[in-house]
Every structure is written in C-alpha cells, then in structure tokens.
Structure 1
C-alpha cells in the first residue's frame, strides 16, 4: 500500500513537535489515521497563525506517546510513503517521538518527497542562482494543474493529504516514472517478504553499527533469510533511500550565529549539489561533511539551511 501523510507542528525548529498527523491511502484517499496531540512545548505564534491550532484546543487530548505504536504499525505496513515535504515531516515525527521517550525506527519504508519531485516534473520556474527548479507550494501546484481543492483547508493535515493525493493521481504516470529507480518489488515476492519479516532485527543491528554484510550473514546462518547478499543490499537500499533518517539527528548547538551557518553552506554549496545529483540523501551528505570537518552544525540546522536555499534532491546546474 502506498501512503500519503502530512503534519502540523508547534514550529519548525529542533525542539518542536507534531500536533496533528494524518495518513491516507494514496490510491483510494481512505483515511487511515487522523489525530491531534497535546505537545510538551509551546506552539509558536507563526505556526499558530498558519494552522490555527492553539494549546487550549489540545489541552484535553492525549500525547504522541499514546499513539506512537499505532502510527509505526501503519507506517511499517506501507510499500512507500509520500509527503509534500518529507525531510521536514519525518524530522518532526522523529523529534516528537524522542521528546516522549519513544524509539523512532532506524529503517522505515521509502519516503518520497512529492514537492521536490513536482518541481522537477513541472519545471515551472528555474532559478539560475540556486541551480534548481523552484519548489511550489502545495496549493499553488494544484492550481497549476487545474485541480479543484476549494473544498479543502490549507494547513490542515488531513486536507493537505487529500490535496497531495489529488496532485499525485493527476500526474501519477510522471511521478512513478520519476521515482522508478526506487520502486520496491511486489509485496508477493518471497525475498521481499523475508526482508520485511526481519526488518526489526535488521534495524536494531544497523543502529548498532553492524556492517550490512555481517547482518546478512547473521540472518542467513539463523535460517531467517535465504536470499543472496545482492538481493539483500537491494532491499536494504529500498528501505533506506531518499529522505529517511538513518541515525539520530545531532541536535547539539551548531555555529554561534545564522551567519556562521550561512558561511558554512556557501563554502560547501557546490559539493552538496553534486552529492544530491548523485542520489545521496541529505542525512548522508550531512554525515560526510561532518566527518570531513566541513560542517559543524546539527542535522536539523543543515536541513533548515538547505530548505532556505530551496535545495532538494535531484538538482540541475543548467537548464
């Protein structure tokens, strides 16, 4: 099953939390989950002005912790997950889970950023400065494609899911072709089912920094999988590719000021775009730059500065 999800949050920073989450079936638009949560932090004024959700309205609701297991059950059942801004949504979900002492999985089904894909597919406006096609707001993208969303509210998690689903269905052939390298095998595949049945153990071993070949060897010796190492690495890539956080984000303080962060970005911008073009995720690029001493700030700050400069996966230097 392909899923679409959307969130509304207390803000956009590293301590902010999800206060509304909706998940629907990408093919049928059936609502699978739609819930608001009471956060443990304040809702920032700017966020409240957009979605209109107040702490008072959430005061008597349960927290993320009460729904955590159910949310993961839905997510793990998916073949793939689409969001209109996957880096942001998945970062906020991880932050929220950890704020309530819940474990966010190291591996989740491939998550695809429909907003970034639409920018490359529609090619509405190209920025020579940033070297990429302009990211379009969801409501703008729907209007550009003649999709009626007059019955939907903006900045409402469920309605944003529905708008995203309408956009996906309108351009499904183009989106599926765009994501073709990351399309997972049919769920009836014996090898795929073997991998999925052992995903919890694979995730745990991976989080302990066990090499992939050792994970494959361990599961093979235990009689839990029969697939070759080649097939195993392919399934592993499918689960870890595109916008999935493989390690806990480093939330330690970064540079002393926004100017310091901006200077780091400018110094490494070309390398970041090259790596994005090669298919590396932002999480992978962040780890590489930190390992080389080229980046000192947290992963949350890294994704934020990329967002500010409209840098997403699959960039073009020239038109």
Structure 2
C-alpha cells in the first residue's frame, strides 16, 4: 500500500524570506491514507526572537525552546523519516516554503514540489465557496476540536489525518479499512487520532449469508461468488 507523510510546522512568523524560522515540525506516517502510529515530532530553537503575535497563535515563547536543537541538528532525521514519499499538508506551500528555506540554510536538498499534496486545494475543489480552514473542515466532518486551543503541530497533524481521510472518501471507502481473516470473516480496524488501531471481528450471521446468496442469485455471473 502507498506510503505518504502528513506534516505541519509552526514558525516565528509568516515569511522565511524575512528571517522567520521553523520552531516545530510534526509528521505522521500514512499507509493507504491511514495513520500507522509512526510519527516524527521535534521542537527547534530558531536562533531569533519569537514575536508576541506568533506566540499567541502557537503558544511558544523563546524561553520554551531553550536547550532545543537547531534545525541543522535534526535535518537528517527528518529527511530520513519522510523518505521520498508524497508530503501532505494544509496550505502546503507555506510549509514547503519554510522547510526549503531551512534546508537550504542547513545545506540539505530542497523538497520537490512534485511531492506536495495540499489538502486546502483538495477541499477548495470539493467545497468551492465554503470556509476550508482546518477548523472549518473539522466541524464539517464532526471531528472533535476541543483540544485545539493553540496551533500545536502534532495535534494539527492528527486532526488533519482525520480530515484527509474524509476528503479521500472517508469511512465510506470501507473496503480499504478491512482485511480478510479466513472463514468468511473480516477484521475491521477503528483508528484513533494517534493512529492506534483496535481490531473488531465482523462475522456475518447465517441469515445474512442466506440473504446475500439470494441477492447473488439474481445477478448474472456475480464476481462475489467466484
């Protein structure tokens, strides 16, 4: 199944060209559009001040980042985690711009824009004219926002993973969330925001199997009875 990385950053401001820096990176591994539980998360000292207006957004002050590594110290670990897979983010051009500025400063290769998957673009195509912020999409899909008091990158990734699943077809895709377990039974997995999964065995009753058989009898050469 296809692997992808969903990620988010927090920064000291809005423009890396004016010296703003990354202070937090969070990334979740997805396989088949679902979190595996593997993640990368780091706080970074920006080697500059953090304006008060930025602190109001994400909650971090420079004092919170004392003793944290600089970007060049974590760059190789981050690049190893993301590999060469697609990179998913909400308003991804913002995050790509900051990460590529940091990678250039650290003398590492830039992230190719060919790898970029922007959930904001996907949402705008699907819901033109409607609010498509992460908060708005969470409310639209009935995803719990109660823990989101500031823009925390790891929490935002976990919320975006839920949003991304819905944008890709959500739980209605069903077939992608189950695997055969022999004897006609299936195992369905329920996922929480951290990517942990709980197996739930699904076994059809005799009545359901009989009803299914009667339904297939009405179909010419049904593939389900092969």
> Scaled by the length of structure 2, what TM-score is found?
0.66
Q: What residue in structure 1 maps to residue 120 of structure 2? A: 115
**Structure whose residues are more often strand by fraction:** 2
| Pick aligned residue for 2:44 from 37, 60, 67 | 37
Residues 108-163 of structure 1 deviation map (CA, whole Å, 9 limit, x = unaligned):
7611110121121123x2xxxxxxxx552201111022222324444000000011
> Is 2:156 the counterpart of 1:137?
no
User: Closer, same or farther in 2 for the Cα pair 1:94/1:119, shift >3 Å?
Assistant: same
Q: What residue in structure 2 maps to residue 75 of structure 1? A: 82
User: Closer, same or farther in 2 for the Cα pair 1:24/1:103, shift >3 Å?
Assistant: same
Q: How many angstroms apart in 2 are the aligned matches of 1:98 and 1:75?
A: 17
SS of corresponding position for 2:49: coil
> Is 2:109 the counterpart of 1:104?
yes
Q: What residue in structure 1 maps to residue 204 of structure 2? A: none
> Is 2:22 the counterpart of 1:18?
yes
8 A contact 1:3–1:81 mirrored in 2? yes
User: Closer, same or farther in 2 for the Cα pair 1:155/1:29, shift >3 Å?
Assistant: farther
Residues 259-313 of structure 1 deviation map (CA, whole Å, 9 limit, x = unaligned):
xxxxxxxxxxxxxxxxxxxxxxxxxxxxxxxxxxxxxxxxxxxxxxxxxxxxxxx
Q: What residue in structure 2 maps to residue 309 of structure 1? A: none
Q: What residue in structure 2 maps to residue 279 of structure 1? A: none
Q: How many angstroms apart in 1 are the aligned matches of 2:166 and 2:72?
A: 36
Q: What residue in structure 2 maps to residue 161 of structure 1? A: 157
Q: What residue in structure 2 maps to residue 51 of structure 1? A: 58
Q: How many angstroms apart in 1 are the aligned matches of 2:21 and 2:38?
A: 22
> Is 2:100 the counterpart of 1:94?
yes
Residues 13-68 of structure 1 deviation map (CA, whole Å, 9 limit, x = unaligned):
12211100000023125242011000122212221111010111111111111110
Q: How many angstroms apart in 2 are the aligned matches of 1:47 and 1:66?
A: 24
* Structure 1 residue runs without a partner (length 5+): 126-133, 175-319
Q: How many angstroms apart in 2 are the aligned matches of 1:98 and 1:41?
A: 18
Q: How many angstroms apart in 2 are the aligned matches of 1:49 and 1:18?
A: 16
Which has the larger Rg?
Answer: 2
> Is 2:70 the counterpart of 1:63?
yes
Q: How many angstroms apart in 2 are the aligned matches of 1:153 and 1:73?
A: 31
**Structure whose residues are more often helix by fraction:** 1
8 A contact 1:115–1:135 mirrored in 2? no
Q: How many positions carry a matched residue from both structures?
A: 163
